Amino acid sequence: MASCKGKPVALCYNGSRHMDAYLDIETTGLAPEDSQITVIGIHLVNGDSQSFIQLVGEDVTSDKLLAALDGVSMIHTYNGSRFDLPFIRACLGIDLERLFAHYDLMYHCWRCRLFGGLKRVEQMLGIPRKLKDLNGLDAVRLWWRYVNDYDEQALHILLEYNREDVVNLKVLKELLAMRTDGATSPAGGPYKMPGR
């Protein structure tokens, strides 16, 4: 599925046919053993072409996730190595790190002395956010308001919160590239090539 097999990372990353996916999940808790994935947000970027997909509730399936990622070479996350991808593996049975190259922007932030969660790093870099007062616990509460009280507004806010997380990953990646001497390739970064 990943188009980078057999190519050096830098060549794959700088290639003109490279499609990036910026991915973030929302869940009902911190441990996949007693929680579920409520939303998977994916921002697809292929050159100047961009699209955004959200899998929500019953649409969070392995088949739909793999279909959404069709043609992707690189998945970008923030703390995805420790949260999003292991959660997806446990809940959906898909090891995205075996199927796609993965770049966890959190480790790049650490090398630039930017510590904290995604929202904290966004603040440090001046990345705007409409829903700046919401956090992961609020996302859990919004989901349960939607499920238990049929609160469509809660779902709308949750989806907008997830969208900001996902879209801001691309902005973060671009700002980090400028901070590291304008390099567009995160060579030497926390890469994991498929199957490794």
CA 6, 15, 73, 79 dihedral sign is: positive
More confident residue, 183 or 46: 46
For all residues of the chain together, what is the average pLDDT? Answer: 87
| pLDDT tens per residue across span 28-43 | 999 999 999 999 999 9
- Bridge-based pairing of strands 101-104 and 74-77 is parallel
At residue 52 the predicted structure's pLDDT band, cuts being 50, 70 and 90, is: very high
Cα separation, 94 vs 85, whole angstroms: 9
Place 181 in a pLDDT band, splitting at 50, 70 and 90: low
Q: What's residue 196's pLDDT?
A: 37
pLDDT the model gives residue 17: 57
Residues 64-110: tens digit of each pLDDT: 999 999 999 999 999 999 999 999 999 999 999 999 999 999 999 99
pLDDT at 179: 82
Percent of the chain whose pLDDT exceeds 70: 83
Q: Convert the pLDDT of each residue in 109-149 to its tens digit.
A: 999 999 999 999 999 999 999 999 999 999 999 999 999 99
pLDDT at 44: 98
Domain ranges of the chain: 9-180
What mean pLDDT comes out for the span 11-35? 81
Share of the chain above pLDDT 90, in %: 81
Residue 58 confidence (pLDDT)? 97
* Contact between 76 and 172 (Cβ < 8 Å): no
Query: Homologous superfamily of 9-180 in CATH?
Result: Ribonuclease H-like superfamily/Ribonuclease H (3.30.420.10)
Q: What is the pTM of this model?
A: 0.84
